[in-house]
Amino acid sequence: MSRKIDVDLQSPGLARSAAGSYITQVNAIDDPDVRRVLMPAKGEHIHHKAILKTLTPLYKGLSESEAAELTAHLNQYGGIGNHIQNLIPMPASTHQGGIHPMAKGFGYEYHPNKKEQVGFVQDIMEASELPLAYRKHVGEQYLKKAVPDMNNFINDLLTEAYRKAGDKLNISPQMMEGMRARDINKMQTQGVVLGNVINK
């Protein structure tokens, strides 16, 4: 399936470009300080935390109403497709050189050129031939187990990337932590919970 079909199945009505969709959703947030914190920096990539291509086989052969039911079920566990809860900006080197090799190695990311799929990808491929209830179950397990594991790895990669960026800018770790704490406090008092953007 093409990327546009992947996006249309998993996040109907949202922009097909991950960056375009992310920026549109960030711009819809009322608070300018929250928008500033969430807006990607120049040159950053937008990464799908629940990898787009990996979940698509679960939709194989489903009717339009079944596909919508699967999407609604999976969105309960943090957002899929181009939903803002499933997107995160990151430096290009962290994106292509960090998280994707890890995800492929652990069987969290589908790769069409790989003859034998492993881990969650294998489970998803097998579930694509089974009833909707089982597809929901396998997708839910991927979102509850594989995605948090990848998120922990992403957090480590981003911590290191931004620490290095702070070193280049001559910003001390204490100063960076102070800026982070200030931004988090502001987001929480304005109704934004980390990981879940909520407009009050």
Model confidence pLDDT, tens digit, residues 24-71 = 999 999 988 888 889 998 888 999 999 999 999 999 999 999 999 999
Please count the residues of the chain. Answer: 200
Q: What is the pLDDT of residues 167-184, one digit of tens each?
A: 665 656 666 566 666 665
How many whole angstroms separate alpha carbon 157 and alpha carbon 164? Answer: 11
CA–CA separation, 30 vs 188, rounded Å?
14
Given a cut of 50, whether residue 197 has pLDDT beyond it is no
Q: What's the pLDDT band for 75 if we cut at 50, 70, 90?
A: very high
Residue type at position 50: A
Residue 112 confidence class, pLDDT cut points 50, 70, 90: confident
Quick check: helix, strand or coil at residue 34?
helix
Instruction: Provide the percentage of residues in the chain whose pLDDT is more than 70.
Output: 82
Any idea where the domains of the chain sit in the sequence?
3-189
161 phi, psi to nearest 5 deg: -60, -45
β-bridge partners, 45: 90
Tokens encoding 116: 């034998």
For helices 64-75 and 132-141, the axis angle rounded to 10 degrees is: 30
Is residue 46 helix, strand or coil? strand
What is the pLDDT of the chain when averaged over all its residues?
84
Entry pTM: 0.79
- Whether 114 and 54 have beta carbons less than 8 Å apart is answered as no
